[in-house]
Structure 1
Amino acid sequence: RLSKTSGVQRALSNEHLKSEGLLSLEERWQQLASSRRIA
């Protein structure tokens, strides 16, 4: 049952994609946003 929830499916797919070496747009956006605040 738990694996049928969208949150678990999304987390698993995100982890899988990250393990494949794909870029996380959300993480990249956060990095860019934090570097803008510092500058």
Structure 2
Amino acid sequence: MLAVVVAAVVIAGVWFWTAAPRADAAPPQTVAARPAD
């Protein structure tokens, strides 16, 4: 039971971390693309 709760919290946390900070997730791609250019 506790493992299910922990798994749900981890999934929700990862989902929030990837969905919420869009501005934080976008710059790394721009920074990675600039050196290639």
- Tell me the TM-score normalized by structure 2: 0.44
Query: Higher RCO, 1 or 2 (CA under 8 Å, sep at least 6)?
Result: 2
- Tell me the TM-score normalized by structure 1: 0.42
Higher Cα Rg: structure 1 or 2? Answer: 2
